[in-house]
Amino acid sequence: HETAAEAAVGASLGFTSHKLKARPWNIVETVKLMKEAAGPDYTVGIDPNQKFRLPYIAAGLARELEPFGTVANFENPVPKRNLQWFRQLREKTHIPIALHANAAGDVLKALKAECIDYVNLSGSAQEVKLAAAVAEAADVPCWVQMGGLCLGVMAAYSVHVQATVPNATLPCDELPFTREADVLEEGLVLANGHYEVPVKPGLGVTLDMSVVEKYRVG
């Protein structure tokens, strides 16, 4: 199974968590195979992009997944316009429920609804820091996804921002290392599954212009 093989590689490189896009029909088998391949200490964050659709479907999957002990969270398991569904699911599972948001107001609404355990934050640096502060006031940890499947420059910027967010304690979603080539010559160090905050002036990174020229399209 390709995903399980990727999990094994991740564990060998020092990563301890794996974010996984998911659909109801195969997620249980996938998590089982990932645990077999990467071990019981390698966790899985499950993000179905709201495609578990209804609370009873998500709750049923949670019951099947809980015994593995490796599921770190359900992110946006059901449509996030319905926070009551988030709350219903949260009451039926021990798996932490996470909301993906980029506005402090959305985080505040979710906290008032008592429907989340974590929050994944996107947006500008100002938006991320403001939303994170709202979550921190409620002792809710977060992670940051400013770029996601981005290039190294964006990832470096995000790492700097995250270093200023006290409650950004969960594995982040900045993944330039999944690209076939790195546009950075130096500056952004990833070791044992963790980024080191660049210390040189500016973003602290240097472009590899040979890579930039190779992939130039216009």
Q: What is the pLDDT of residue 187?
A: 87
Distance from C-alpha of 134 to C-alpha of 139, rounded to nearest angstrom = 9
- For residue 139, CA distances in Å to 70, 71, 91, 129 come to 23, 21, 19, 15
pTM for the whole thing? 0.94
* Per-residue pLDDT band at 218 (split at 50, 70, 90): confident
Task: Report if residue 190 sits inside a domain.
Answer: no
pLDDT digits (tens, 9 = 90+) for 65-100: 999 999 999 999 999 999 999 999 999 999 999 999
* Per-residue pLDDT band at 1 (split at 50, 70, 90): confident
Report the candidate in 173, 104, 96 with the shortest Cα–Cα distance to residue 133.
Answer: 104
For tokens 């402090």, the residue is 104
pLDDT digits (tens, 9 = 90+) for 164-179: 999 999 999 999 999 9
User: Which residue segment(s) compose the domain that 37 sits in?
Assistant: 2-178
Q: Is the pLDDT of residue 23 over 90?
A: yes
Task: Report if residue 96 sits inside a domain.
Answer: yes
Task: Report if residue 210 sits inside a domain.
Answer: no
Task: Report if residue 207 sits inside a domain.
Answer: no
The pair of three-digit structure tokens given for residue 102, joined into one six-digit string: 């980029």
Question: If you average pLDDT over residues 146-154, what whole number do you get?
Answer: 95
Task: Report if residue 14 sits inside a domain.
Answer: yes
What spatial distance separates the first Cα and last Cα of the chain, rounded to whole Å? Answer: 38
pLDDT digits (tens, 9 = 90+) for 25-39: 999 999 999 999 999
Task: Report if residue 41 sits inside a domain.
Answer: yes
Amino acid identity of residue 217, one-letter, is V
- The enclosing domain of 126 has a CATH number of 3.20.20.120
User: Reduced to 3 states, what is the DSSP secondary structure of residue 50?
Assistant: coil
The total domain count for the chain is 1
